[in-house]
Structure formats: C-alpha cells, structure tokens
Amino acid sequence: MFTRRDLLRTATASALLPAAPTILRAQEEKYPSRVIKAICMFPPGTGADILVRWYADKIAKISGGSVIVENRPGAFGNIATEAVARSKPDGYTIYIAPTSSVLAVAPHIFKQLAYDPVESFDHITTISRVAFMFCVDAKGPFKTMADLTQFLREKGDAANYGGSANTGIVGAEIYKKAMGLKTVHINYRTPQAGFTDLYGGQIAFYTTDYGTAAAPIQQGLMRPLVMTSAERMKATPDVPGARESGIPGLDLIAWWAVHTPRGTPEPIKKQLQSWFNQLTADPETAKFLATVGADPLQGDKLDVKDMLLKEIKAWESYVALTNMQKM
C-alpha cells in the first residue's frame, strides 16, 4: 500500500517529466504536418507563376500535404527573396525561383540588401532552364530580327522596348550593344501592361518568357523573333537562337532552383530535394515545361551553391555591359 510519503514522491517525479502527449507528438510528427508556402516573385497569371503553381500542386500530391502559392512581385524579385530570407527555417517556406537571374543579379543592382544571396539560404536543387524571347506585334512589319534591327537603327533613341524580368532585359541590352543600337528600355510592372503598349505601337518589342507570351502568340497577337539562348531550345524549336539570327555574344538562359531559409533541418532539405528531383525526372514534367518554354534541369549531380557563385560573377559583367544603375 502506498503511504502519503510515496504518493508525494511519485507526484514530484512526475512533475519533472515532459507530458506524455508532448513526447508522442514530437516522435510522431511527420513533414509536412501543416501547409507549405511556396513564394513566387512574379504576379499571378505570368508564365513563372504558372510554373510555380504546377510544382506546388505536384509536391503537394507527392508529399501528401498541402502547398499554397504566395505571390510577392516587385523590385526585380527582391521583395519575394527578402521575405523568404526572413522566414522561419522550418521547411514550411520554400522559394521556387529563377536563381540565375534573381539571386545572382541582386548584389549588382541593389545598393543595399537585407540578405546574402548565397549565405541566407539553403540551396536545395535545380528544376529547369529557360531562355527568353524577343516578341513583336504580330500585325506589325517585323518578320525577322534583321527587320527589327534595321528599324531600330533608323529610329535611334526614339525607339523603345519593354521588359520586366532581368534575363530578358539584359538579353536585350546585349543585343543592343552587339548591334550598336540606342533603343530605350521601358520597365513594366507586369508583362500584360507591356503587351498593351506593344499592340499600341508604343514599344517596338518586348522581352519575355514563352510561358507568359504563349496565349497571345497562339492567338496571333504576338510574334516571337529570337531566343536569348545561342541555340534553339527544345521546348521552343520553331524560334531561332541568337547565333543563327546573327546576334554575337548573346546566350542567356535562366535556370530555376528551389531554396529554403538558411538553417532548415537536414532531413527536411533531403526530403525536399528527393521530391523535386523525382518530379524533374518524370516525363510528365518535361511535357509541362514545354508549355512554358522550359527544359528540365535535373539537380541530382549539380551543386546549386557553386552554380550560383559562378552566376554572380557572370552577372557582374552583364550589369557593367548594360550600364544598369543600382537601385
């Protein structure tokens, strides 16, 4: 029989132990146990937004969890990137982004950054690669890049072009430099606003990814003239590459990768890497990527951090070449 002293001793010992339900929850909780938030740096409806939402949906199905997309456009991707860097490193905030033209370019176009493009993140894996394209009004006179170049030479700085993404803008500036053009860049907050001005004749061409331009191209509103890649992309075989179009030195391809805030637990990083690599190897993914003008980029044997460091160095020369001013 327990004495009063035995009961007090047992009660004291029990008070020093964690509650049983807490231990069980810690042992049984699996990732993901709540909603994962995928940050997208582009506005809803763009090709990039479509890509992020497709991956979010597929990862939700693979993981058995729920993934929502949160759009944070603006400041050439800096708003979204900073939001990710400041998030809790618990695996419930992921960044699906065009790493080569966002994280790599940030140190060169912003006077101050609230994050380090390399060290503020855990770099999970690559997923795809995409070139941009120069598009003109389909009802206009330009059928080839030679037509467009002749017009821009004649107009000098009285001609304008539009773009709202780093890769497309730098691609256009490299083209201008190679051809000795003075065409003026107009930045647009959304591609749709740029398309409106293109149809209205306010700009001569617009640089964008195929995913964003797919609908107007298919509707016969826009005509793609050239890719920013030197060669044709598998996803857009009918659009010439820069080399065959006579544009020397132009070979810009944006590659996409997945990132999390720095300090994400190793098991979660490995799980995310496994899911995304599994998805990238799926033939269905290649079919989807073709609809947005991208090719798969399997990350199993690629070091994302090393790729990013090389890209940062490359973008230093791109920015210098195009005379982009720091913001």
CB atoms inside a 10 Å sphere around CB 319: 19
Q: Which has the closest alpha carbon to 51: 235, 308, 244, 325?
A: 235
- Determine the pLDDT at residue 27: 39
> What contacts 248, CB < 8 A, 6 or more positions away?
178
The answer to whether residue 26 scores a pLDDT higher than 80 is no
The answer to whether residue 270 scores a pLDDT higher than 90 is yes
What distance in Å separates the CA atoms of residue 254 and residue 139, rounded to the nearest whole number? 29
Question: How does the average pLDDT of the chain come out, rounded?
Answer: 89
What kind of architecture, by CATH, is found in domain 132-227?
3-Layer(aba) Sandwich (3.40)
Residues 277-282 have a mean pLDDT of 96
By residue count, the chain amounts to 327
The answer to whether residue 47 scores a pLDDT higher than 90 is no
Domain extents in the chain: 36-130+253-322, 132-227
Burial class (CB in 10 A: 0-12, 13-18, 19+), 240: buried
CB-CB contact of 194 with 162 (8 Å): yes
User: Which CATH topology does 36-130+253-322 take?
Assistant: D-Maltodextrin-Binding Protein; domain 2 (3.40.190)
Give the DSSP letter of residue 68.
Answer: E
Residues 267-283 have a mean pLDDT of 96
Q: How far is CA 235 from CA 116, 287, 289, in A?
A: 33, 9, 7
Residues 173-200 have a mean pLDDT of 94
Q: What is the pLDDT of residues 55-64, one digit of tens each?
A: 999 999 999 9
What distance in Å separates the CA atoms of residue 103 and residue 116, rounded to the nearest whole number? 9
> What contacts 278, CB < 8 A, 6 or more positions away?
62
- Determine the pLDDT at residue 312: 95
Q: What is the pLDDT of residues 138-159, one digit of tens each?
A: 999 999 999 999 999 999 999 9
- Determine the pLDDT at residue 324: 67
Per-residue tokens: 228:
């920013």
Per-residue tokens: 281:
């190897």
Q: Starting from the edge strand earliest in sequence, which strands make up the sheet with 121-130, in order?
A: 67-71, 36-40, 93-97, 254-261, 121-130, 294-296
Q: How far is CA 216 from CA 196, 212, 223, in A?
A: 11, 9, 9
What distance in Å separates the CA atoms of residue 120 and residue 89, rounded to the nearest whole number? 10
The reported pTM is 0.77
The answer to whether residue 315 scores a pLDDT higher than 70 is yes
Q: Strands 93-97, 254-261: parallel, antiparallel or unpaired by DSSP?
A: antiparallel
CB-CB contact of 210 with 288 (8 Å): no
Percent of the chain with pLDDT over 70: 90
The answer to whether residue 261 scores a pLDDT higher than 50 is yes
The answer to whether residue 327 scores a pLDDT higher than 90 is no
Residues 291-310 have a mean pLDDT of 92
Residues 279-293 have a mean pLDDT of 93
The answer to whether residue 8 scores a pLDDT higher than 90 is no
The answer to whether residue 260 scores a pLDDT higher than 90 is yes
What distance in Å separates the CA atoms of residue 179 and residue 174, rounded to the nearest whole number? 9
What distance in Å separates the CA atoms of residue 238 and residue 87, rounded to the nearest whole number? 42
CB-CB contact of 262 with 129 (8 Å): no
End-to-end CA distance of the chain: 79
Q: What is the pLDDT of residues 86-133, one digit of tens each?
A: 999 999 999 999 999 899 989 998 889 999 999 999 999 999 999 999
Q: What is the pLDDT of residues 212-231, one digit of tens each?
A: 899 999 999 999 999 999 99
- Determine the pLDDT at residue 25: 44
